Structure formats: C-alpha cells, structure tokens
Amino acid sequence: QLQASGGGLVQAGGSLRLSCAASGRTFSEYSLGWFRQAPGKEREFVATIKWDDDTTWYGDSVKGRFTISRGNAKNTVYLQMNSLKPEDTAGYYCAVHDSGSVHHTGSYTDWGQGTQVTVSS
C-alpha cells in the first residue's frame, strides 16, 4: 500500500517536498508516478520516475519547478516542489505505473491516499 505525505499550506513561491512510501513492497521493477487533482477537475499527470534507470517524465505545468526522485531505500519516492503557484493547489497522489502511457491515470495501479497541498497567493 502506498502512502503519500508532506502536504500542507505554503505561500506562493514557496517549496514543499512530498513523500510516497510503500509498505510491504519495493519498487525496483516499477515506475512510480505522481498525479494531482483539484476540486472539480480531472486528475492531472505530474511526474513519474523509472526505478531502474531514473528516467523521468514531467507534466508541462510543472516542468522546471518540480523534481521527482527516489530514496536509497527501494520503497520511497519524493516530489520536490519549488516556486509553487496557487494553481498547484490540489490533492497529490502517488501510484505504480503498470503499462501504457505514463501520462494517463489508467496506466497506474495501487493508488495511495493523497496529501493536500494548498498554495496561498
């Protein structure tokens, strides 16, 4: 089971680091992704990292501001969020990439509980 943490309230321009930890499994054979969902909007792709070679993908709205990385232990992935904007306000969710495009929610399984990020202007 995946558990996201690290969300909170931050002012625009600030930073947060989210963590996604897995219990009972490791990610050595998978890619892990982050998505976000604001009220009334569809779930949006944020970033994904391929565990075996650190290949990363980012959504256009976060490129250059967010960085996905993995911990040394094979059960944690991080999302460093810098230069936060009010439009980054959303619930952030991590999930395991199963197959298909990394940009699509349908390609992921094992969705964890989200963590709320609120950016004030």
Q: How many residues does the chain have?
A: 121
Q: How confident is the prediction along the chain (121 residues), in pLDDT tens digits per residue? A: 899 999 999 999 999 999 999 877 666 678 999 999 999 999 999 999 998 889 999 999 999 999 999 887 768 899 999 999 999 999 999 999 999 999 999 999 999 899 999 999 9
Neighbours of 64 (CB within 10 A): 9
Return the bridge partners of 69, or none.
78
